[in-house]
Amino acid sequence: MILKSLDRSDIRLYEYKLTAIPQKIKAQLEFKIPAREVVAQDIPIVNNSSTEWKVSAVISDQTKGLFSLARDGPTLNSIQKIVKKQETGNITLFFKPVWVCNVTATLTLKNESTKEEYEYELKGIAEEPLSNGHEILNCKAREEKVHYFEVKNTTDKPITYEVWTDLQNAVGQKTFTVKPKEKYDYKLTVKPLLGGVYTASITF
């Protein structure tokens, strides 16, 4: 900007430098999967500029640690990623529920180069887990059949399991405890009184 007096005896020059900061962009992501499953969602970062970008991702406001920026290992709540010019990079978000739940969290992406910020409201819904397998027992009427189910404890603490089954004439322990990082062969004894085909389930 140039300011001049009417007689041109005083001339002043002003230089302005303006920085435009983009508004925060908000969106929502919802996940719905069975408990003990893992789902991944890629969030693409498209860099069409002439310089590389440094992008940070941070998960906040979560209590159970079920959202993570790493598939394996403990929960990872923050990472940084370099996206080269004229390339596309992905920030991958994982939802890893261990049991039935309904949780929320916030994922914030910040582009350190352009000052852009994206905020995702996360919602995770974990439904009843899927069956671990399908077992076929070939039995004879009025004769006992013994079958073992392998139950693994992948945690760092002992877990006590309660057993429920709707299979008729089946006998087994009502509860049992598995030590950390070990497995237990649960014994179930079946003695059908009549011939036929029976369908049932067993839950630990």
% of the chain with per-residue pLDDT over 70: 100
In this prediction, residue 194 carries a pLDDT of 86
Same-domain pairing of 33 and 71: yes
Same-domain pairing of 121 and 152: no
Same-domain pairing of 73 and 106: yes
In this prediction, residue 135 carries a pLDDT of 86
In a domain, 88, yes or no: yes
Q: Which amino acid, 106?
A: T
Please provide the distance, in angstroms rounded to a whole number, between the alpha carbons at the two ends of the chain: 77
Same-domain pairing of 74 and 151: no
Same-domain pairing of 123 and 151: no
- This prediction has a pTM of 0.70
Which of 68, 95, 127 is the C-terminal boundary of a domain? 127
**95 exposure class (CB count in 10 Å sphere: 0-12, 13-18, 19+):** buried
| 99 close to 82: Cβ distance less than 8 angstroms | no
Q: Residue by residue, what is the 3-state secondary structure of the chain? A: CEEECCCCCCEEECCCCCCCCCCCEEEEEEEEEECCCCEEEEEEEEECCCCCEEEEEEEECCCCCCEECCCCCCCCCEEEEEECCCEEEEEEEEECCCCCEEEEEEEEEEECCCCCEEEEEEEEEEECCCCCCCCCCCCCCCCCEEEEEEEECCCCCCEEEECEECCCCEEECCEEEECCCCEEEEEEEECCCCCCCCCCCEEC
Domain count, the chain: 2
pLDDT exceeds 90 at position 1: no
Same-domain pairing of 98 and 162: no
pLDDT (mean) for 188-197: 88
Q: In what order do the strands lie in the sheet with 170-172?
A: 145-152, 183-190, 170-172
> What is the token pair recorded at 171?
């006998």
| Domain around 64 | 25-127
Q: What is the pLDDT of residues 55-68, one digit of tens each?
A: 999 999 998 889 99
pLDDT (mean) for 150-161: 89
In this prediction, residue 79 carries a pLDDT of 95
